[in-house]
Amino acid sequence: MEIWQFFVVFAVGALAGFMNVLAGGGSILTLPMLIFLGLPPAVANGTNRLAVVVQSIFAVAGFRSKGVSDFKSSLILSCPALLGGLIGAQLAVAVSDQVFKKALAIIMIFILGFILWDPIRKKHDTIHHKEDTSHLSTSRRIAIMFFLFFAGIYGGFVQAGVGFLIIMALNIIGGLNLVKTNSHKVFIVGINALFSLLVFVFHNKIYWIIGLVLAAGNGLGGWIGSHFAVSKGERFIRVVLTFVSLPW
């Protein structure tokens, strides 16, 4: 790689990290970029996890520094996503690059359709938002855990767009406000990405040099995004969700 390409990777990573914390879909930028730079699809998929893990660490730290964190609840919510992530990552390394490229193309279309449908934005005005999950019925909690398990499988297979699924689980099903939702989301995504990353490392599917540069960008974007989420509040997050949801 040439020097200028490292700057591009860092800049795209920073933008992706910011997007991932406030809304989701940052991997829609980073995965195609890594493949365009010549990484095999499976290696690009694994390398992207390294960046997401670092981004999540900085984002969680950012929320905590602003007094918005509930590690116990986040850890409980992460358990089904962790198990799903291991399953999804095993599927990702088992398929051929050709199959993964086709799957990625279908997934990109799915994400575009989800963005155009945008159930998150449509539900904002109809949900009475809460600060925690203590108000939820047992059946709704079970529904959230099942949803997070399947979201974890998806996130383990390909990271792109998993943040939207987690927001759906916590914001729409759980009724949490978007600031609290995102504080849990970055933790859940981080746990999912970490255990998925271990699978990719085991199968030698990481390009460490590019991954570390991308991770630095994602980490910066995640830190900035977490501070914006708390300081600007739910209204700002809605604006970012709307911006990300525009059919570019």
Which has the higher per-residue pLDDT, 34 or 69? 34
pLDDT tens profile 116-125: 565 555 555 4
Instruction: Give me the DSSP letters along 157-168.
Output: H--TTHHHHHHI
When mean pLDDT is compared over 177-191, 208-222, 227-241, the highest value belongs to 208-222
Q: Tokens in use for 30?
A: 């980073």
In this predicted structure, what is the pLDDT of residue 107?
Answer: 77
How many angstroms separate the CA atoms of 244 and 230, rounded?
Answer: 19
pLDDT tens profile 103-160: 877 877 776 666 656 555 555 544 445 555 556 677 788 889 999 999 999 999 988 8
* Global confidence as pTM: 0.82
